Structure 1
Amino acid sequence: MDFALKTALSLDLPARLDPGVERGLASRFGHCLAGIDEAGRGPWAGPVACAAVILDYDDLPQGLGDSKTLSAATRERLYEEILGRAHVGVAFAAPATIDRLNIRAATLAAMSKAAAALDMAPAACLIDGRDVPPGLPCPGQSAIKGDGRLLCIAAASIVAKVTRDRLMARMGRVWPAYGFAGHKGYGTAAHATGLSEYGPCPLHRRSFRPVAAVSKRDGSR
């Protein structure tokens, strides 16, 4: 039997962010409840970043929410507060790993690595999406749209997003022709223009159709 199936949880999770309800959930696991989320499954280039966060419900950053609904400035502020107040683990799925495994498998593997990277062993994990990653160090449960329902997942979404955005900005200085600092590897018109003109760089996911098409056209340069 798959490890994820053997360690599946069956918790009654809240439909919206509720610190009181979540504090009660965390208390059932000795306050070692980790939220896990990712950023960057869709881009043509760059890694997927995954984060695991164990919050202190007596010292929550104000304004936690789904990273997609927050301004960049708010995400940056919350990122620093989360790192200062919570236990955080981060892991990446590199483009080569994504190409070798596929995006789903590579993301799930990185989620498990993020949980293992925590400096406090989690007793349970709540994971954004439909899947419980195999290889978690503890029981887990998936939560569809979990970043809008659970503070620990919302915190993980912020850490993953800011971590990846900062990395892609640095990569933009390494490969300036593609404009990574602006679009973070997503499929924008500017990215398509750079990809068409210069072909893929080592940061591109060659298994993704737009990149594969250019590679085929140019003889896999």
Structure 2
Amino acid sequence: MARPSVVLEVGPLGLCGVDEAGRGPLAGPVMAAAVMLDPARPIDGLRDSKKLSAAARERLADLIRERAAAWCVAEASVAEIDAMNILNATMLAMQRAVAGLGRAPDEVLVDGNRCPKWAWRSQAVVKGDDRVAAIAAASILAKTARDAFMGRLHEAYPVYGFAQHMGYGTAVHLDALKAHGACPQHRRSFAPVKQVLDQAVLF
């Protein structure tokens, strides 16, 4: 029997969904996306990006960019993450994403349990990427944009295997970090990276 498709709440035209990608990795920026879907141009198959294959995410990302009423992907850099911590950098990336829409949303729904400080009426939605279509769309755009960035980073620094683990602290990544030290896109404030740097100073 075919598995039934997941239908998420779309909401009115002025509703904006926001989600991030890349809070946990040891390298690369944190990215956030803001999406305002057009109810007149529905997109089937939207759901939490982590529950989709890479091919499905790419296909849906193309449809979101084509059919959404407005969308924007923004980031906070590694330098900003190290300067203000990952939580504040994530909030900054979300602020930039909504500000970059080119139109003011009526309401912003943010995946998770907190919202950035901003002027828009907003609400945090726990597991929103599996409940609200606009948040699911934002999760897909943020994830595909960050994966593309990490793919380019892999080409620049192939010894770390970024294309394999996307910067997360896997055994392969940690071994490469110990063997080769940190590259400019590693987050110096994160403990595994800081430990490698401190050991390099000692020896």
TM range (shorter): over 0.9
Partner Cα distance (2:150, 2:45) in 1 = 25
Matching residue within 149, 152, 159 for 1:167: 149
CA RMSD of aligned residues (A): 1.5
Deviations 1:81-103 (A, max 9, x none): 00001111111011111111011
**Which residue does the alignment assign to 1:104?**
87
Using structure 1 for the length normalisation, give the TM-score: 0.86
Aligned match of 2:174: 192
Deviation at 1:38, TM superposition (A): 0.2
Aligned to 1:6: none
1:33–1:122 Cα contact (<8 Å) kept: yes
The counterpart of 1:147, out of the listed 109, 119, 129, is 129
Aligned with 1:214 (options 174, 196, 201) = 196
CA shift for structure 1 position 18: 3.7
Output the CA distance in 2 between the equivalents of 1:92 and 1:17.
29
Who is 2:71 aligned against? 88
Quote the offset at 1:109 in angstroms: 1.0
Aligned-pair identity in percent equals 49
* Alignment-derived partner of residue 109 in structure 2: 126
SS of equivalent residue, structure 1 residue 53: strand
Cα separation, 2, equivalents of 1:187 and 1:168: 14
Q: Any gaps of 5 or more consecutive residues in structure 1?
A: 1-15
Aligned with residue 47 of structure 1, among 10, 26, 29: 29
CA distance in 2, matches of 1:81, 1:89: 14
CA distance in 1, matches of 2:136, 2:50: 10
Paired with 2:45 and 2:79, the residues of 1 have a C-alpha distance of 36
CA distance in 2, matches of 1:177, 1:71: 25
Residue type at the aligned position of 1:82: I
1:62 is matched with 44
For 1:220 and 1:204, the matched residues in 2 are separated by: 19
Where do 5+ consecutive residues of structure 2 fail to align? Answer: 1-5
Question: Does the aligned pair in 2 maintain the 1:169–1:180 contact within 8 Å?
Answer: yes
Q: How many residues align?
A: 197
- Separation of aligned partners in 2, 1:174 and 1:220: 28
State the one-letter code of the partner of 1:174.
A
Under a length normalisation based on structure 2, what TM-score does the superposition of the two structures give?
Answer: 0.93
Q: CA deviation at 1:119?
A: 2.3
Kindly state the Cα deviation for residue 120 of structure 1 after the two structures are TM-superposed: 2.4
